[in-house]
Amino acid sequence: MILFLGMVIGLGACESGSNENKPGERRPVGPFSSIEAGPVRYSTQEGVFLAEVTVTIRDLQYQPFQGVRVQLDLSDGGATADATELVTDELGQVVFSLRNHHIEVMTVSAIASTGSAEDPGTTVTVDTPAILAFSAAVSLEPVGGAVYEPGLGRFQFRLTLTETAGVVDGGDLTCLPPADELSMDPGQMTTDASGQAVFTVTATTAGAYELSFGLAGIVEPLRAPVSLPGPSIGGSIERKMAYDTQMVPTRVGIFALQVSEGAPVILGEFAGIPVYTGYNNTFDYTLTLPFAPPPAYLLPTADGLRVGSFVAALYYDANRNDRWDPDEFIGAAHRIPGSLVYFAPDTDPAPPVAGWSFVRDFGLDPEVLPWDELAERQDMDITTAPVHGPVVRGTFSGDVPGSLRVGFAIVDGPQLESILEAGADPWSLPFDPASSHQVLNMGIIDNAFEGTLDYPMTGLDAATVEAWSVTHEIKPGVSITYLPVMAFAYVDVDDDRKLSAGDTLAGIALAPDGVRWTFSYVLDMPRELGFMSPGSLFLHAGYNWWSAPADSTDDFLDATRYREWNVSIPMMPRPCGLAL
């Protein structure tokens, strides 16, 4: 009992008052008093948030204290009370009604006084304030699919208006378009018994937006994020060649082309996304188109139309800047079925169809194809990706001495051409360190070999690469620049496990009769060739192995067959006097 009295006396001594305490005076106690906030509701009739705050005042004996004057401290927010001051009843309580036109979370405190306005007596603050959340929110869900017209998209949404207690029936909302690119219809709407209303957004620019809505009587707008995408196309991408991870990072984008009788001209790329190729042989992609392509990609035709020709393609984003640059290689492109085009509206004559379309036989009389049937069938085959470190394998025919090894070497191209033009033997080049750079050197075990070619750019400086490279025209106006590669077997006479003075040539990679093999490392080629490739291995950057009829000199692109490096390369003992 003595301990309890000491606690109560000590507690009373800690209370603060505006007047000096008198012996035996009954006083309100802040820690024993409380503030309770009722639910916040939005009134659709008044256009305001409403809430009640109940303050209970107790004395030292934890008993309700009647006749105490109570005021609220509302300085933390924008709420107002129905009274400046109220006096507690027999339960020690007062109830304030609050109104607020703001969306906010605010702290409400209470101050109790036992005196009068002239003589406040003891004044205390209730220890624990109340937290009130004045809030409302809108959520959006799409209704049906988008409707696209040339240069715009229409999207219907179902809006749901909620407050802390649930949905709001009869809430009046005003649409506040966030940008000139958007319009919203209707401009004003009232929610139904489910708190819902339906409206339409028309956009001239696709993208992510934040829609705003004014709620009647509330200062701050309600906001909700929304995505307004353009039409989409997609498909699967299948690896039709072996290539190393130098194809990563990989992106897929829409390329604008100027189509002609020769190779197409690339006007630019847009709407690109990253795709992960990794080591997957097949993977999917989806591209979102703008409502209309950049105007610069729409070209006039002889008959008065304005049309753009486009193709989805995969490319190697070498500098990782998330867009295609003219020096970056194209590894795959969609070819069939149908060509992706955009016809500008309002031309004379009228286009066969305005906006995005797929057409067949693009020309004087294009056939428009069903969009829904083709949009997700824009498949690609990877046939032209850069090859920087291929695996090579093969066999050696004939007796194999224990010191037999295989070599692949980049050689001085202009010097090789001079030797061949003179009808001389070129096989001394790989043995000359001043004219060659080894990219593979390994032993032959059980008449077989398998290894990975080195990336030549790590062992050759820029000046040597330029001096050793050759440029050939493979089609009128179309040239490639490459470094020649020579493949051979040799006897490692001194058993030093490397090509050195005194070693002798033992065999070469010999093509079948009537066929000429060429090994090369392509440094540069027209990027447009990526759009001309068939559904099988085609000319690409990096290491190439191609075969062509021995007597063919024309139609390089048509006469050449490209081979995978992981197919066995036969090494034959070199017949005397045989030249490359």
Side chain identity at residue 403, one-letter code: S
Instruction: Say if residue 528 is exposed, middle or buried (CB neighbours under 10 Å; 0-12, 13-18, 19+).
Output: middle
Alpha carbon separation from 520 to 330, 383, 540, 549, 551 (Å, rounded): 19, 17, 11, 17, 19
Question: Rounded mean pLDDT of 501-510?
Answer: 90
The first and second tokens of residue 373, run together, are 């049937």
CA pair distance 28, 88, nearest whole angstrom = 11
Q: Which residue has the higher pLDDT, 299 or 248?
A: 299
What is d(CA 51, CA 74) in angstroms, rounded to the nearest whole number? 13
Please say if the pLDDT value at position 246 is more than 80: no
**Rounded Cα distance, 575 and 510, in Å:** 10
Structure tokens at 330: 């194209």
Tens digits of residue pLDDT in 119-151: 667 789 999 999 999 999 999 999 999 999 999
Q: Report the b/e string of 549-571 with b at 16+ CB within 10 A.
A: eeeeeeebeeebebeebeeebeb
Domains along the chain? 2-134 (2.60.40.10), 138-228 (2.60.40.10), 232-382 (no CATH), 391-573 (no CATH)
Could you tell me the pLDDT band of residue 21, with boundaries at 50, 70 and 90? very low
C-alpha 10, offset from chain centre: 66
344 φ, ψ (degrees, to nearest 5):
-70, 140
Q: What share of the chain is helix, strand, coil (3-state, %, to 5)?
A: 10, 45, 45
487: tokens are 């493949």
Label residue 402 by pLDDT band (50, 70, 90): confident
Q: Would you say 407 and 430 are in contact if contact means Cβ atoms under 8 Å apart? A: yes
> Over the stretch 415-440, which tens digit does the pLDDT of each residue have?
999 999 999 999 999 999 999 999 99
pLDDT in tens, 257-275: 998 766 788 999 999 999 8
CA–CA dist 548, 556 (Å, integer): 8
Measured CA to CA, the distance from residue 433 to residue 372 in angstroms comes to: 60
